[in-house]
Chain A
C-alpha cells in the first residue's frame, strides 16, 4: 500500500513537473495545429468560410507548384539524410580514437554549424556565383563554366552546403554514442579474431540505434533549416531545382492562400510523423531484440 501511494505520488510529481511544458506545447503547438487541420477542410475566411472537406487536398495533388516543391524536398531529404549519416558515421568512427586526446577537435567540427546564415550565403555566392571562385578556376584550367546557382546544379550546391554545415553536428551526436560503447567488447572480439567490419556490424551498430535515431531527427530538422540559405541565395522564386516546400508556404502566405498553407502543413506533418514513427518503431524493435 505504501509502495502504491509512493508510486502515485511520484506519478503526480512527474505530472506537475512537466505541466508547464505540456501546457506550453498544447497552447503553442497542439492547439494551432488543430486549427490548421480544421482550416485545411475549409475554403475562405470569416464571412466567406465554406466547408469543402478534402477538396483542398484533391486540388493540391494537381497543383504544379506543390508537386514541384514536394518532389524537390523529398529528393533533397532522400539524398542528403543517408549521405550525412554515412559521412558523419565514418568521421565519428575515425575520431573516436582521437576525440579523447583532442577535445578541441569537437569544437572545430561545430564551426560550420554555428556560422551565421548571412556569412554562409556570402561564402556560397563567393564560391559559386557566375563570377565566383569556382568558375574562375574552371576557366583557368580550360573547363566549361556553369551557372551553379541558377541552373540544375543549384540542387547539388544546396546538398553540398547542407552536408558541409551539418556533418559536424551529426558527428558530435554519433560520437557521443560511440564513446559509450565499452572498449571491452572490442577487445574481446579482437581476441576472437573479429575484423573491423565484423566489429562494426555486430558490436558498434547494434548499440548505436538510439544515437542514429536522434541524429536522423536533428539532421531532418537541420535539413528544413537549410531554407534560410536557399531563400537568401535564390529569393522567393529560386531555380526550379531548389524550390522547396518552405518557398511554397512562404509564397502562399503572401498571397493569403490559407487553405493551401494549411494543406501543405498537414501533409508535411503526416509524412514526418510517419517517418518518425517508423524510425522509432525500428529502433525500439532493435533495442528489444538487444535486450
Chain B
C-alpha cells in the first residue's frame, strides 16, 4: 500500500511539470524571437510564418517569444541553453541585439523600453562557438534576393572567414547633425577645425573652449561603442588598453560635468513649455505630470517632429545647440524638420576614438546549429531581407485620412522605425520609410479640429525625401559590430555612472581602479566566450 502511494506521488510530481516552462522541440519547426512592438518584428515574423505555413501545410511551426519577466526569463533561458548544448535547440533565431527591447506602451503613440539579458551575450563569440549553421551557400546562390541592394559592410558582420552564420536585418549608426549657421560651427571652420573628427576630439574642443551648448549637443556613449574594434576574436585578444579606457572615462567625467546641468535645464524648460501649451488647450484640471499622459521629455525630444509641432520650442537649433548627436533612427525626423523650419543641416557620421566609422547590428536572423531543415530555415529568414519586409511593406495600416475626433481608426502603428533602426536594405529605402512617416501623421488626432487641420496641411506640404537628404548613408562603414552584453556591474556604463553625482559634479572615486576593473571584465568576457 505504502509503495503504491509512493509510486503515485512520484508519477504526480513527474507529470506535474508544466509544458509551458519547457522550451519546445520534438519535431516542430521552432523559431525563437523576442517580444517587439505589435507592428514591428513580431508582426513580420508572424506574417512570414503564415507564408511558410501556406507553402508547407504538413509542417508544424512554432514561433516562441522569450519571456521578459526577470525570474521567468532566467529560468527559461537556462533550460533553452541546456537544450541547445544538448543538440535540441531552436531551428531559427530572430533576435534583437543589445539588452533593451522596445514594446508597446499603453498609448499606441508611445513605446516602452524593457531591459533584458539577451540569449546570446556576444553574437560574434556565438558565431565562433558554432551555435549557428553556415548559410553562405544559400545566400550567395540566392539570385532573387538582390543582395547588391543590401549594405555590404553590415552583411559582412555576419561572416566568420568564408562562412556566413548570421543575417543582419537592421542596423544603426551614430550621426551628428550640424547647423552650419551656428556661430560655434563657423568659428571652428574659420580655425580649421574639422567636424569630421572623433567625437572625443569634438568634446575636448568643447571643454577647452568652455562651450557648454556644444557639449550638450554632443554625446559620449556610455557603452564601448566609442572604442574602435574591441576584440580580436580569432586571436582571443583584447585590442583596447586599460590606459585608453581610463582616458575615455576621464573625458566622460569632464564632459558630463560640463553638460549635465545645462541639458537638465533645457529639458526642464521644455517640459514647462509643453505643459503650458497643453494647459492652454484644456479648460479642466490637468494631471500633475506629463508622464501621466504618457509624455516623457528626453533628449530625443529635441529632434522630434511631434514635439516641435506641439511646442515650437522643442528643437536643438532653437535651444541654440550648434550640433546634435543622434543616429540613423532620427534621420527622417531631422529631414522633415529641416523643411518645416526652412533650414539645412549637415549629417555626418560620429567617428570612433580612432577616427573610424562604426555601426552596430540591431536585429539579426540565424539558423540554429541543430536545425535539420536548413533549406526551410533559410527560406524563412530570407523573407526579412526582401524589399517588402525591409521597407515597411509588412507594417499594418488602416485608412486614416478621414479620422477625426469623433471617428478614429484603430491605431495600428507605433511611432518611428521598426526596432528604432535602419533597414539593412538601405539603397532606395528612404521613399518607402518616408511613406510610413506620412501615414503615421496623416491620421493625427489633435486636441482641436484646427490643430488636426494644421498638422495634416503640414504633412501634405512636406516634400518627399529622397536619398539626397541622407548623404550620410553613402559613407563607408569601417567596422560593424554586434553589441555585447555583460552584467550591469561589469559594464563601462556602470563605471561611468560612478564618476559624477546627481548634479553632474565629479566624484572622488578612484578612476584608475574603475578602469582596471572594466579592463579585467572585458578580458574575462573574451576568455569565457
The verdict on A97 contacting chain B, using a C-beta distance below 8 Å, is no
Task: Tell me whether A45 and B370 are in contact in the complex, defined as CB-CB below 8 angstroms, given that A253-B81, A256-B84 are known contacts.
Answer: yes
Q: Are B131 and A256 in contact (CB under 8 A)?
A: yes
The verdict on B236 contacting chain A, using a C-beta distance below 8 Å, is yes
Which of these binds chain B: A59-67, A104-112, A183-191?
A: A59-67
Q: How far is the CB of B486 from chain A (nearest CB, A)?
A: 8
The verdict on B529 contacting chain A, using a C-beta distance below 8 Å, is yes
The verdict on A180 contacting chain B, using a C-beta distance below 8 Å, is no
Task: Tell me whether A256 and B129 are in contact in the complex, defined as CB-CB below 8 angstroms, given that A45-B370, A64-B523 are known contacts.
Answer: yes
Find chain B residues with CB under 8 A from A62 CB: 236
User: How many A residues are at the interface, by size bracket?
Assistant: 20 to 34
Q: Are B527 and A66 in contact (CB under 8 A)?
A: yes
A237-B132 Cα distance, complex, nearest whole Å: 27
**Of A50, A65, A254, which contacts B81 at CB under 8 A?**
A254
B133 and chain A: residue at smallest CB distance:
A47
The verdict on B34 contacting chain A, using a C-beta distance below 8 Å, is no
Q: Are A256 and B527 in contact (CB under 8 A)?
A: no
A113-B251 Cα distance, complex, nearest whole Å: 50
In B490-529, the 8 Å CB interface with A consists of 490, 520-521, 523-524, 526-529
The verdict on B271 contacting chain A, using a C-beta distance below 8 Å, is no
The verdict on B424 contacting chain A, using a C-beta distance below 8 Å, is no
A255-B368 Cα distance, complex, nearest whole Å: 15
Q: Are A65 and B130 in contact (CB under 8 A)?
A: no
The verdict on B134 contacting chain A, using a C-beta distance below 8 Å, is yes
User: How many B residues are at the interface, by size bracket?
Assistant: 20 to 34
Binary contact track A69-105/B, C-beta < 8 Å → 1, others 0: 0000000000000000000000000000000000000
Q: Are B84 and A254 in contact (CB under 8 A)?
A: no
The verdict on A176 contacting chain B, using a C-beta distance below 8 Å, is no
A46-B374 Cα distance, complex, nearest whole Å: 12
Which of these binds chain A: B15-23, B100-108, B120-128, B280-288?
A: B120-128
A65 and chain B: residue at smallest CB distance:
B527
Q: How far is the CB of B140 from chain A (nearest CB, A)?
A: 18
Q: How far is the CB of B99 from chain A (nearest CB, A)?
A: 14
Q: Are A252 and B528 in contact (CB under 8 A)?
A: yes
A64-B526 Cα distance, complex, nearest whole Å: 9
The verdict on B114 contacting chain A, using a C-beta distance below 8 Å, is no
In A188-239, the 8 Å CB interface with B consists of 235-237
Q: Are B490 and A48 in contact (CB under 8 A)?
A: no
A65-B520 Cα distance, complex, nearest whole Å: 10
Binary contact track A34-51/B, C-beta < 8 Å → 1, others 0: 000000000111111110
Q: How far is the CB of A237 from chain B (nearest CB, A)?
A: 6
Q: Are A248 and B374 in contact (CB under 8 A)?
A: no
The verdict on A240 contacting chain B, using a C-beta distance below 8 Å, is yes
The verdict on A165 contacting chain B, using a C-beta distance below 8 Å, is no
Q: Are B125 and A65 in contact (CB under 8 A)?
A: no
A236 and chain B: residue at smallest CB distance:
B487
Task: Tell me whether A48 and B131 are in contact in the complex, defined as CB-CB below 8 angstroms, given that A62-B236, A235-B489, A256-B120 are known contacts.
Answer: yes
In A97-141, the 8 Å CB interface with B consists of none
The verdict on B85 contacting chain A, using a C-beta distance below 8 Å, is yes
A63 and chain B: residue at smallest CB distance:
B527
Find chain B residues with CB under 8 A from A260 CB: 528
The verdict on A258 contacting chain B, using a C-beta distance below 8 Å, is yes
A253-B85 Cα distance, complex, nearest whole Å: 9
Q: Are B524 and A256 in contact (CB under 8 A)?
A: no
A53-B186 Cα distance, complex, nearest whole Å: 63
In B86-120, the 8 Å CB interface with A consists of 87, 89, 120
The verdict on B385 contacting chain A, using a C-beta distance below 8 Å, is no
Find chain B residues with CB under 8 A from A46 CB: 87, 89, 133, 368-371
Q: How far is the CB of B27 from chain A (nearest CB, A)?
A: 16
A47 and chain B: residue at smallest CB distance:
B133
Interface centre among A235, A243, A257, A258 (most CB of B within 10 A): A257
**Of B84, B121, B122, B521, which contacts A45 at CB under 8 A?**
B84
The verdict on A274 contacting chain B, using a C-beta distance below 8 Å, is no
A260-B524 Cα distance, complex, nearest whole Å: 13
In A249-281, the 8 Å CB interface with B consists of 251-260
Find chain A residues with CB under 8 A from B126 CB: 255-256
Q: How far is the CB of B125 from chain A (nearest CB, A)?
A: 6
Find chain A residues with CB under 8 A from B487 CB: 235-237
Q: Are A48 and B524 in contact (CB under 8 A)?
A: no
Q: Are A48 and B527 in contact (CB under 8 A)?
A: no
A240-B513 Cα distance, complex, nearest whole Å: 13
Binary contact track A147-181/B, C-beta < 8 Å → 1, others 0: 00000000000000000000000000000000000
In B320-355, the 8 Å CB interface with A consists of none
Find chain B residues with CB under 8 A from A257 CB: 125, 129, 528-529
Q: How far is the CB of B398 from chain A (nearest CB, A)?
A: 43
Q: Are A258 and B85 in contact (CB under 8 A)?
A: yes
A66 and chain B: residue at smallest CB distance:
B527
Q: Are A50 and B130 in contact (CB under 8 A)?
A: yes
Task: Tell me whether A45 and B520 are in contact in the complex, defined as CB-CB below 8 angstroms, given that A62-B236, A255-B528 are known contacts.
Answer: no
A66-B126 Cα distance, complex, nearest whole Å: 19
Q: Are A255 and B524 in contact (CB under 8 A)?
A: no
A25-B273 Cα distance, complex, nearest whole Å: 73
Q: How far is the CB of B374 from chain A (nearest CB, A)?
A: 7
Q: Are A45 and B87 in contact (CB under 8 A)?
A: yes
A62 and chain B: residue at smallest CB distance:
B236
A147 and chain B: residue at smallest CB distance:
B513
A261 and chain B: residue at smallest CB distance:
B85
Q: How far is the CB of A239 from chain B (nearest CB, A)?
A: 9
A243-B528 Cα distance, complex, nearest whole Å: 12
Q: How far is the CB of B190 from chain A (nearest CB, A)?
A: 49
Q: Are B368 and A237 in contact (CB under 8 A)?
A: no
**Of B132, B490, B520, which contacts A240 at CB under 8 A?**
B520
Q: How far is the CB of B302 from chain A (nearest CB, A)?
A: 37
Q: Are A237 and B521 in contact (CB under 8 A)?
A: yes
Q: What are 17 A-B pairs at a CB distance below 8 A?
A: A45-B87, A46-B87, A47-B371, A48-B134, A49-B130, A49-B369, A64-B523, A64-B527, A66-B527, A237-B521, A254-B81, A255-B121, A255-B126, A256-B85, A256-B120, A256-B129, A260-B528
Top 8 closest pairs, chain A to chain B, by CB: A44-B130, A65-B527, A46-B369, A48-B130, A46-B370, A251-B528, A47-B133, A48-B369
Binding site for A on B (CB under 8 A): 81, 84-85, 87, 89, 120-122, 125-126, 129-134, 236, 368-371, 374, 487, 489-490, 520-521, 523-524, 526-529
4 extra interchain contacts, Cβ-Cβ under 8 A, other than A48-B134, A65-B528, A257-B529?
Answer: A47-B371, A237-B520, A237-B524, A254-B81
